[in-house]
Amino acid sequence: GENVEQHPSTLSVQEGDSAVIKCTYSDSASNYFPWYKQELGKRPQLIIDIRSNVGEKKDQRIAVTLNKTAKHFSLHITETQPEDSAVYFCAAPLYNNNDMRFGAGTRLTVKP
Amino acid sequence: DVKVTQSSRYLVKRTGEKVFLECVQDMDHENMFWYRQDPGLGLRLIYFSYDVKMKEKGDIPEGYSVSREKKERFSLILESASTNQTSMYLCASSLGMGSTQETQYFGPGTRLLVL
């Protein structure tokens, strides 16, 4: 079955710096990769996703890159702000099943 | 705007009790999911359902069962609660239409403590 590995488990950056979180997956048939942000005490919410027909997608300060050959995808946050502090989860689907596998999460702390 | 609600934010139960966690979504989604969230383990799928009365086991179904009698409601049942089921439980839903590659919308979570 699908195995999703996420690194690092914790990340601390200075406000204004960039943050990068990386995930690897095992099912080569996977072709949809979402990222969720979970603020303290709140539910996970989708922030960006990418489908396998593109290598990169950007939305303001957030970007996701996908390397299908190497089976990894990364979340990039530029010009980080304190409100970016949260736990971020990547996910990848089991191609033939109706479910998603999540990474273990990365706790990002942005220090002002 | 998709809304997923869960019946309780916090629950305290005793070992051996039967526990019901309810989830309701209001967007006519076909897929519904139950996860538990534990530190360092991310979100682990317990069960999911892709249609009324249909259910599939996830990664950690042991000790749990589910019920989906109506499209909008997906219940998680702990037949005999144990202390290792103390966790945060998250419900989610997605559109369906035969595709797995869709956004999942999450409920606010139920923090369950089993004493």
Per-residue pLDDT, B102: 76
Burial class (CB in 10 A: 0-12, 13-18, 19+), A1: exposed
Q: Which of residues 20-79 of A touch B (CB under 8 A)?
A: 31-32, 34, 36, 42-46, 49, 51
Per-residue pLDDT, A28: 79
Contact between A99 and B58 using a beta-carbon 8 Å cutoff = yes
Q: Region A81-101: what's the mean pLDDT?
A: 85
Contact between B31 and A101 using a beta-carbon 8 Å cutoff = no
Dist. CA A80–CA A85, nearest whole Å: 9
Report the residue of chain B nearest A94, measured CA to CA. B100
Per-residue pLDDT, B12: 97
Instruction: Give the other-Cβ count within 10 Å of A43's Cβ.
Output: 17
The predicted-structure confidence for B44-102, as pLDDT tens digits, reads as follows: 999 999 889 889 998 899 999 999 999 999 999 999 999 999 999 999 998 876 665 67
> At residue B1, does pLDDT exceed 70?
no
For chain B, give the longest Cα–Cα distance.
41
Q: Where are the alpha helices (DSSP H) in A1-112?
A: none
What residues of A are in contact with residue B97 (Cβ under 8 Å)?
Answer: none
Q: Region A93-98: what's the mean pLDDT?
A: 67
Question: Which residues on adjacent β-strands are paired with residue A27?
Answer: none
pLDDT band at B108 (very low <50, low <70, confident <90, very high): very high
Residue A11: C-alpha distances to residues A48, A53, A64, A65 (Å): 19, 29, 17, 19
Confirm or reject contact between B88 and chain A (CB < 8 A).
no
Lowest mean pLDDT among A34-43, A91-100, B90-99: A91-100
What residues of A are in contact with residue B48 (Cβ under 8 Å)?
Answer: 98-99
The SS3 call for residue A49 is strand
Of A43, A51, A99, the CB nearest to B33: A99
Cis geometry, peptide bond prior to residue A8 (ω within 30 degrees of 0): yes
Per-residue pLDDT, A30: 82
The predicted-structure confidence for A59-88, as pLDDT tens digits, reads as follows: 999 999 999 999 999 999 999 999 999 999
Of B56, B101, B102, the CB nearest to A31: B101
| Cα Rg, chain B, nearest whole Å | 13
Chain-wide mean pLDDT for chain A? Answer: 92
